[in-house]
């Protein structure tokens, strides 16, 4: 029997995927091994989940727009593949992902957060 300290920490965020508007249809479950995106409201029975393994992720950053206002978080896999998780509070997601060991980079200064 393992103790609670040995169990991997799972953090859940509610938001959307890449849209110009966000309806909170996506749950992002993050732990040190993977990011799991699943549909909410019973839609996950037919579609998903979608998984990004920690080893595949090369960069995590906010998706600052032209106005400098961020509305989400980029999770880059390789050079060209980026997943965008829309949320009104990307800074909270970035802090938790950094705590879980993901390669978080600050969008404002280009240095590691």
Are 66 and 44 contacting, i.e. CB atoms less than 8 angstroms apart?
no
Q: Supply the pLDDT for residue 55.
A: 94
Q: Among 11-15, 33-37, 88-92, 101-105, whose mean pLDDT is lowest?
A: 11-15
Average pLDDT over residues 96-110: 79
pLDDT tens digit sequence for 6-63: 555 777 767 765 545 556 778 888 999 999 988 887 776 777 788 999 999 999 988 6
Alpha-carbon span 104 to 38, nearest angstrom: 22
With respect to residue 4, please indicate whether it lies within any of the assigned structural domains: no
Total domain count, the chain: 1
Sign, Cα dihedral of 29, 48, 18, 56: positive
With respect to residue 49, please indicate whether it lies within any of the assigned structural domains: yes
With respect to residue 44, please indicate whether it lies within any of the assigned structural domains: yes
Average pLDDT over residues 80-101: 87
pLDDT tens digit sequence for 51-85: 999 999 999 988 665 445 557 888 888 888 888 88
Q: Supply the pLDDT for residue 94.
A: 92
The DSSP 8-state label assigned to residue 110 in this structure reads S
Nearest to 50 by CA among 7, 85, 5, 10: 85
With respect to residue 35, please indicate whether it lies within any of the assigned structural domains: yes
Domain that holds residue 69: 11-99
């Amino acid at each position: 029997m393992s103790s609670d300290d040995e169990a991997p920490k799972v953090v859940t965020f509610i938001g959307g995927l890449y849209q110009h508007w966000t309806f909170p249809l996506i749950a992002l479950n993050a732990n040190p091994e993977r990011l799991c995106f699943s549909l909410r409201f019973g839609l996950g029975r037919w579609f998903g989940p979608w998984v990004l393994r920690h080893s595949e992720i090369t960069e995590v950053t906010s998706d600052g727009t032209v106005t400098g206002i961020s509305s989400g978080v980029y999770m880059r896999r390789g050079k060209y593949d980026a997943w965008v998780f829309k949320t009104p509070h990307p800074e909270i997601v970035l802090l938790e992902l950094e705590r879980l060991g993901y390669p978080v980079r600050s969008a404002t200064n280009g240095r590691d957060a």
